[in-house]
Amino acid sequence: MMKKFLLVIALCAAFTARAQEARDTVIVELAKTSQVIFTIKDRSDLEILKHYDFQQLFEDVLRKLEKSDTTSLAASDSTKTQEEIAANKSDDTDDWWERTDDGDKDRDDDDWDKDDWNSDRDWRDHFHGNRWGRTWQSFNFDLGTNNYLSDGKFPDSNNELYSVRPWGSWYVSASSIQRTRLGSKVFIEWGVGLSWYTFKFQNDNVKIIKGDSAIQFVEDLREVDFKKSKLSASYVHASLIPILDFGGHSRKARLWDGYNNSFRIGLGPYIGYRISSHSKLVYKDDDKEKEKEHDSFYLNNFRYGLRLQLGYRSTDLFFNYDLNELFAEGRGPKLNAFSFGVVF
């Protein structure tokens, strides 16, 4: 076991030393006639390989070799020299790489950077989407909470009936986002998607009544066990967010990624168009009852505002603030909605 452990250490050391020399193939001599050959096409793989359990990997390989007859394979490979093996490996990689004037290898694509290709490309692209030139496409999922301000104050400071509970007033968004590189550390994220506002009122017996000229919030005085009352609206939206990413990564960071350890910040506009809205009042009177009404409730058809994004390592946070009011002018209370949460 000690010999295997020392062998793993020597293997890792040899691999790291050769990788730092920007070589594509690393050959490690073992025993008298055995060799282990590593081929690497992207230096960013080093971060992934650091988490490998090489000792367990090597034990699995040895077990498989003990169960197999490798005499013919060994006889065939013994006729090849190290130079021939290295040359073959070099030929295999020349399809993807070209050698620059200073002897280093680089990708043919001038827009490529070290984060655009790795041995786990298929797995990562499943989550990150696709790439076209300087643009990566991916999907954003925002999950956060809603509230609104009235003249810069929360409505519950005046015990207004339309005061909401942060927990239960959810903001959910699903968007197709394109991330286009403008400079070494400057990007623009633009896209379209769907978003949902839910405002859950502090008082569970609040009823929304649409009058002839304005919306009214009143208390339902029936003697029943009220469970919740809320107002919901859904929008189709578009956004345009300039991003400063100090890591210069082409792809958008994800919570499950480990390669992005940089700070990033972005601020830009968004606009949305209301496609649906409804109120819901839930109570229990013998059986559980639910009153749901689909109506505009004098909500503004458009919403627009500013979005702030902050990210560090693999976590991104967002803050949306509507610059226009939630209700049409003169048709309801003057409220500016905002949302904040996590980007998945």
- Residues 175-187 have pLDDT tens digits of 999 999 999 999 9
More confident: 282 or 7: 282
Which of 5-19, 27-41, 218-232, 252-266 is predicted least confidently?
5-19
Burial classification of residue 262, based on how many CB atoms lie within 10 Å of its CB (0-12 exposed, 13-18 middle, 19 or more buried):
middle
pLDDT band at 199 (very low <50, low <70, confident <90, very high): very high
Q: Could you give the percent of the chain with pLDDT greater than 90?
A: 53
Q: In this structure, which CATH number among 3.30.420, 2.40.160, 3.40.1350, 3.30.70 belongs to the domain 121-343?
A: 2.40.160
Distance, CA of 185 to CA of 249 (rounded, Å): 8
Comparing 233 with 42, which gets the higher pLDDT? Answer: 233
Residue 197 above 80 pLDDT? yes
Label residue 99 by pLDDT band (50, 70, 90). very low
- Cβ(171)–Cβ(339) below 8 Å: yes
Give residue 73's pLDDT band: very low, low, confident or very high (50, 70, 90).
Answer: very low
pLDDT at 128 over 50: no
pLDDT, residue 168, reads 94
pLDDT at 58: 72
Mean per-residue pLDDT for 279-287? 92
Examine the pLDDT at 172 and tell me if it is beyond 50.
yes
Stronger pLDDT, 210 or 106, i.e. the higher one: 210
> pLDDT confidence of 160, banded at 50, 70, 90?
very high
pLDDT at 17: 47
- 46-55 long-range contacts, CB within 8 A, separation 24+: 46/16, 46/19, 47/258, 47/259, 48/118, 48/119, 48/120, 48/259, 49/15, 54/8, 54/11, 54/12, 55/4, 55/5, 55/8
pLDDT (0 to 100) of residue 169: 97
Over the Cα atoms of the chain, what is R_g? Answer: 30
> Is the pLDDT assigned to residue 127 strictly greater than 50?
no
- Pick the residue with more confidence: 97 or 37? 37
Higher pLDDT, 278 or 138: 278
Percent of the chain's residues with pLDDT above 70: 67
Query: pTM of this prediction?
Result: 0.63
Among 269, 293, 193, 199, smallest CA distance to 235 is for: 193
| Token reading at 145 | 């909470």
Helix (H, G, I), strand (E, B) or coil at 199: strand
Q: How far apart are the C-alpha atoms of 96 and 88, rounded to whole Å? A: 14
pLDDT over threshold 80, residue 200: yes
| Residue 57: per-residue pLDDT | 73
Please provide the average confidence, as pLDDT, over all residues in the chain. 78
Higher-pLDDT residue of 322 and 81 is 322
Lowest mean per-residue pLDDT among 38-47, 206-215, 297-306: 38-47
Name the burial class of residue 86, with classes exposed (0-12), middle (13-18) and buried (19+) by CB atoms within 10 angstroms of its CB.
middle
C-beta neighbour count of 78 within 10 angstroms: 9
Mean pLDDT of 28-36: 73
Q: Which of 339, 341, 335, 340 is nearest to 163 (CA)?
A: 335
pLDDT digits (tens, 9 = 90+) for 232-269: 999 999 999 999 999 887 777 666 665 567 899 999 99
Question: For 11, phi and psi rounded to 5 degrees?
Answer: -60, -50
The neighbour count for residue 70, using CB atoms within 10 Å, is: 12
Question: Where are the chain's structural domains?
Answer: 2-107, 121-343
**Mean pLDDT over residues 299-304, rounded?**
98
Phi, psi of 218 (to 5 degrees): -130, 160
